[in-house]
Amino acid sequence: MESVQYLYPVFRNQKKEILVELKIIIMKKSVLLSVVVLALLAFAYSAEANITIKGTVTDAATGDPLPGVSILEKGTSNGVITDINGYYSIAVGSENSVLSFSYVGYLTEEIKIKGRTVVNVQLTADVQALEEVVVVGYGMRMKKDCTGAIASINISQPQSRSSMTAYDMMSINHNTEGYSTIHENGFKDVTINPLSTFSIDVDAASYANLRRFLNNGQKPPVDAVRIEEMINYFKYEYPQPEDEHPFTVNCELAECPWNKSNKLLHVGLQGKDIPVDDLPPSNLVFLIDVSGSMDYYNKLPLLKSAFKLLVDQIRPEDRVAIVVYAGASGLVLPSTSGKNKETILASLERLQAGGSTAGAAGLKLAYKVAEENFMENGNNRIILATDGDFNVGQSSNAEMERLIETEREKGVFISVLGFGMGNYKDDKMEIIADKGNGNYAYIDNIQEAKKVFVNEFGGTLFTIAKDVKIQIEFNPVKVKEYRLVGYENRLLNEEDFENDKIDAGELGSGHTVTALYELVLNDNEKDGKNRLKYQSTSVNETALESNEVATIKLRYKEPDGYKSKLIEAIVHDESKTLAQASENFRFSAAVAEFGMHLRNSEFKGTTNIDSILELARNARGYDEEGYRSEFIRLVKSSETL
């Protein structure tokens, strides 16, 4: 008690000081408490702002997945599209957010999240809309307002007039897409034309482009259907090369599915698959169209997303420069090391569209930048991304062709990526890729960008053989007539095969190339029948006594070489029934059949949707990325066109 009494006066005397200290402590704790509360609120807001919603979108009537469906968080610009399996994933800002699901030919669905993380949606076909509406260019018209034939093209998410750019408004009711005319190959008489010569083609733009049409409920224009590009969109299982040559040659002869009395010859090349770490360093120049025609959701925004995937793949030893062109051309990013990906990505993100399209000026500047940073024994390549609408400067195809041919001899190759619709210039882009020793792809969604830049990175960017030509000599004792399926714009003259000055196609790391011939077997006597008035034709002992159907010859050059090398392979008469044929054979035949169906080819024979589906389903095989399954869905969906 005494101790307490002793302390009391002390406490009383220092009471003021102690109260001050307590006040300071309380204030500090209040600040700390406020910080904690704010942090918790921020965390809660952050958690709420990053709610990830996943699900699939399917057709309510058939249950089939719907790729390319537009999903938008209502009231925001936040949106995604479904992949080839109808799957989507989107981060939304609130558990009360509303998602809008829209797709051409279907009723739009708006669904409130209500705290869910999985939202599966079934869209119902809008029969009345399909009957009454024609989508033309970038706009819509009622059928009653349309007169005459309309070259129309659908879009997956038409915009309201209030949200359209000036370019969109100018483009309403105008479709100026350009395609080179294709005159389908016919049958050749072996006694008169024993040799078939053509350049290989690894481009796959036609398939992705016609998929865009089919997904939008339209049949593609006939000249947009290039059957060889449809076939070569898919990867086939051929053996890897084990000798000094960079590819293998594989042959198979079996029953022709659309004409049982004929045979189908399947010829497949397999390029050597080089591990990414063993590939040479790259000097890349991104040549990007930022003109007014690119100011649309499936053009420049999709382009940026696609190139971000590519930037993720580049290595420290690689270099990237960015050149853009609109009314004029300019260097946005000097050649930059792959170590500085953030700098490259930031330059991409800043790009905006506007102005006219000086394509030739852009090409010249890109070549100049590539040459200034040229890598000896490296991969020097321009990657052009555009809708192909070169409407200022050197815009004619002939002038573009001469420009590319002049520059390619310096060792800089060019690959082309196409984007968009309505004013898409397929013909110009095909010329640039063909003449520039590169490849050509059409990017209609981010999944296609992943296929080109991630799954097929080596094949897209690294050439292992250039100027690859094929020449097949048919044995007239065995074969009466032949028809090359596709490759109409890749045909070469007989004498071009041994002429090393003639340009031909390039083969990339891991790429496969497939060609099909329909053969009419020879039912004549062994000495044959003379079909010429002023000449007599005869066959030698080799033709009469051998079991050879044909001899395949290939010529190619090393990527930096000037003299071609020769490979030969023999096709023996060991034909199989269709059921005995490989999955490679049967699936490629199904794709060719579908191409003939879309073209309404005079050579389609007994082709119909049911036969295509049966053949493709039974030959689907291992389909890790789902490309073959998507093909089957496209064939099925085309029944309603």
Tell me what percent of the residues of the chain surpass a pLDDT of 90: 47
Please report the pLDDT score of residue 34 as a whole number.
45
Phi first, then psi: what are they for 234, rounded to 5°? -100, 150
User: Side chain identity at 156, as an amino acid letter?
Assistant: S
pLDDT in tens, 297-327: 889 999 999 999 999 999 999 999 999 988 6
Let me know if the fold of 50-123 is the same as that of 289-431. no
d(Cα 463, Cα 374) in Å, to the nearest integer?
A: 16
Task: Pick 578 or 174 by higher pLDDT.
Answer: 578
d(Cα 365, Cα 329) in Å, to the nearest integer?
A: 7
Residue 42 has pLDDT above 80, yes or no: no
Q: Where are the alpha helices (DSSP H) in 551-582?
A: none
**pLDDT-derived band at 104, boundaries 50, 70, 90:** low
pLDDT in tens, 189-217: 998 999 999 999 888 999 999 999 998 88
Smallest CA-to-CA distance from 595 within 520, 440, 438, 487 is with: 487
Average pLDDT, integer, range 397-407: 75
Smallest CA-to-CA distance from 67 within 96, 106, 33 is with: 106
Please report the pLDDT score of residue 401 as a whole number.
76
CB 516 within 8 A of CB 266: yes
Residue 633 has pLDDT above 90, yes or no: yes
Please report the pLDDT score of residue 158 as a whole number.
36
Please report the pLDDT score of residue 127 as a whole number.
54
Task: Pick 395 or 314 by higher pLDDT.
Answer: 314
Q: Record the tokens describing residue 473, joined without a space.
A: 């000599």
> What are residue 87's DSSP bridge partners?
56
Task: Pick 282 or 459 by higher pLDDT.
Answer: 282
Burial bucket for residue 100 (CB in 10 Å: 0-12, 13-18, 19+)? middle
Q: Taking the CB of residue 189, how many other CB atoms lie within 10 A of it? A: 14
Residue 68 has pLDDT above 80, yes or no: no
Q: Compute the 3-state secondary structure of the chain and give helix, strand, coil in percent, each to the nearest 5.
A: 35, 25, 40
What's the chain's Rg over C-alpha atoms? Answer: 31
d(Cα 475, Cα 182) in Å, to the nearest integer?
A: 28
d(Cα 490, Cα 488) in Å, to the nearest integer?
A: 6
User: Side chain identity at 221, as an amino acid letter?
Assistant: P
**pLDDT-derived band at 394, boundaries 50, 70, 90:** low
Contacts for 415 with CB less than 8 Å, ≥ 6 apart = 381, 382, 383, 384, 433, 436, 438, 439, 440, 441, 460, 461
Rounded to 5°, the CA angle 421-427-429 comes to 80
Domain boundaries, the chain: 2-48, 50-123, 127-171, 188-274+464-640, 289-431
**pLDDT-derived band at 14, boundaries 50, 70, 90:** very low
**pLDDT-derived band at 10, boundaries 50, 70, 90:** very low
Please report the pLDDT score of residue 485 as a whole number.
97
- End-to-end distance of the chain based on CA atoms, in angstroms? 102
CA separation, residue 402 to residues 380, 395, 410, 507 (Å): 20, 12, 14, 23
In three-state secondary structure terms, 616 is helix
Distance of CA 429 to the CA centre of its chain: 13
> Among the listed ranges 120-129, 133-142, 319-328, which one has the minimum average pLDDT value?
133-142
Structural fold of domain 50-123: Immunoglobulin-like (2.60.40)
Please report the pLDDT score of residue 184 as a whole number.
95
> What are residue 101's DSSP bridge partners?
71, 109
CB 189 within 8 A of CB 531: yes
In three-state secondary structure terms, 634 is helix
Smallest CA-to-CA distance from 83 within 55, 51, 48, 102 is with: 55
Residue 487 — left, alpha, or beta (φ > 0 → left; ψ -120 to 50 → alpha)?
left
> Among the listed ranges 339-353, 403-417, 574-588, which one has the minimum average pLDDT value?
403-417
| CATH of the structural domain 188-274+464-640, one choice from 1.10.3720.10, 3.40.50.300, 3.40.1350.10, 2.60.40.1230 | 2.60.40.1230
Average pLDDT, integer, range 493-520: 94
Burial bucket for residue 30 (CB in 10 Å: 0-12, 13-18, 19+)? exposed
Go through the chain and tell me how many residues it has.
Answer: 641
CB 588 within 8 A of CB 254: no
Q: What is the CATH number of domain 289-431?
A: 3.40.50.410
Task: Pick 309 or 151 by higher pLDDT.
Answer: 309
Q: Where are the alpha helices (DSSP H) in 535-608?
A: 541-545, 583-599
